[in-house]
Amino acid sequence: MAGCAALSGAALAQGSGPIDSFFARPAVAGLAGTTLVLVLMAFVTWGILTSRRLDGSSLFNRLFVIVATTSGFFSAVSSAVGFQLITGQETEDFFRNSLLPPAFGVFVFFLVVAIWVGGAELVRERDWFRGMGKGLVADMAFFVERCIKLFVVIPILALILLVVATWTTVVGIAGVDAVRHTYNFELNRLQTECAGVTAYRQRDFLFLQDLRLAVRDVSRAAENERATGSQSGAAGRGAVTDYFTGVADWLKGLETSVGAIVAGEDPSGVSPYAPDICSASVDDLRRKLADNGFSNYDLWAREFETGFDEVAIVVNRWRQDRRIERLLEQQLANFDRANPKPIAYDEGRLSAGQAAAIDRYSDSVTGALKSLLTKQRRAKPPVPQKAYAELYPERGLDIIAAIFKPTPVPATQERVSRTAEVVAAEFVPGLSAITPRDAVLKNAKIFSDVWALALAWDYASYILMLAYLFFPSAERAAGRKDEKR
C-alpha cells in the first residue's frame, strides 16, 4: 500500500509539472483572465438588467448602473495593482504585499459605485422642495437643486475619486513603464559615458606606441654611437656608448612597465580595452529592465539600481586611472638617479665633445619624456553628463507645482577651465532612482493616453449623469414617465 501511494504521489507530482507550465503560458493566462472578466461582466449585466429593485427604471438608467459598476471594477483592479507598487515590500510581508492591495481595490470599487450610483440617486431625488407640487415653479426649483448637486456636490465627491482611484489607476497601468522610460534615459546616458571613457582610454595604446618609438630612437642612437661615434666623434665602447646603452635599456624597461599596465588586469576588474564592453554591460541592464516589475517591484528596482551603480563605479574608476601618468612622473623624476652620468664625466676626464654628447642625449631623452607626459596630462575624459535627477529634480507634489511655474531663462554659465583638480573632482552620477508614483507624474505628457483612459472610465458615469439635469424622467421606463417621484 505504501508503495502504491508513493507511486501515485510521484505520478501526481510528474503530472503537475506540465499542467503548471501550461497555465503559466502568457497566451493561456491571458485567455483565462479574459474569460473570467467576460463571465463576471455578463453576470453583473444580467443581474442589473433583470433586477426587481430596478423595477420601473428605464433602459438608460439600468445601463447607467452597468457602466458605473464596470468602471468601478476596472478602477478597483488597476488601483489595486498601483497600490501594490506603492506599498509593496521586497520582504515577505503578508499584510502589505498580499492583503492591503486587494483590500484597497475593494474599497475603490465601493467608492466608485457609491459616488456614481448613489450620486445618481441623490441627483434624481428631491430633498429641498419635496412639499412643492407640480408646476413651472416647482420644476425650476428642482432644476436649481439638481444643478447644485451635479456641479457642486458630485464634483467634490469626484475629486476624492481623482486622488484615490484615478491616480492609483495610472500608477497601476503605467507606473512600471514610466520608471522604465526614466531608466532608459539613464541607460543611454551611461552608455554614452562608458563609450566616451573607453575612447579616452584608447589613448593609452597611442602613448605606448609613442614610447616604443622613443625606445627605438634611443636604441638606434646608442647603436650609431657605438658603431660610428655619430654624436661624440669616438666610435666603439666607452663611457659615452655605455651611457647611451644604459639609457636605452632603462627606457626599454619603462616601456615594458607601461605595456604591463595596459595589458594587465584593470583594478576595477573589468578592462576598458575589451571590445564591446559598454554595449555588453548596458545590454545586460536592459534585460534586467525588461523583466517583470510587477511580481516584486522593490526587488526588480533594487537589482537594476545595483547593476547600474556598479557599472557607473567602474566607469568612474576608468576615468580616474592615472597609473601611466604617475609612473611616467616618477621615472622622469628619477631619470638622473637611474641613469647617472659616467664618473669620467664628473671628474672632467671626458673630452668636450663627449661631455656635450652626453648632455645633449640626456636632454633629448628627458625632453621626449616630458613631451609624452604633457600629452598624457592634456588628454582628459569627456565632461560627465547630467543625470535625470539633476535635470529634473522635482519629486512628489513639487512635480505638480513645477507644471505651473514659468520656464526659467537659462543663465549664462561661465566656462571653467578643466584643470587637473577639476577633472579629479568630476564623476559619472549613479542612477536617478524614481518611484512609480513620481514617474507617472513626471512623465504625464508621455503617458497622456493612460491618464485620458483612467479619467474616461472613472468619469464616464458623470457625463451620463448630466442627462438627469435636463431630462428628469430619464430614469423612468416608458409608460411611467409621468409618475410622481
Q: Which residue has the higher pLDDT, 65 or 26?
A: 65
Over range 174-191, report the average pLDDT. Answer: 93
User: Of 274-283, 308-317, 319-328, which has the strongest mean pLDDT?
Assistant: 308-317
Q: Evaluate if residue 384 carries a pLDDT over 80.
A: yes
Average confidence (pLDDT) over 62-77: 86
What value does the mean pLDDT take over residues 155-181?
90
Express each pLDDT in 238-249 by its tens digit: 677 778 788 888
Contact predicate 125/485, CB 8 Å: yes
* pLDDT per residue as tens digits for the range 360-369: 888 888 888 8
What the block records as the C-alpha cell of 118 is 448613489
Task: Give the residue with greater pLDDT, 25 vs 63.
Answer: 63
Say if residue 20's pLDDT is above 50: no
- Is the pLDDT higher at 18 or at 230? 230
* Span 293-299, average pLDDT: 85
Give the model's confidence band at 83: pLDDT under 50 very low, under 70 low, under 90 confident, else very high: confident
Q: Which residues pair with 287 in a beta bridge?
A: none
Give the residue carrying C-alpha cell 599596465: 261
Spatial contact of 88 and 96, defined as CB atoms under 8 Å apart: yes
Name the residue among 201, 211, 210 with its Cα closest to residue 267. 201
Share of the chain above pLDDT 70, in %: 80
- Could you list the beta-strand ranges (E) of 209-262: none
Cell numbers 578643466 correspond to: 418
User: pLDDT band at 229, cuts 50/70/90?
Assistant: low
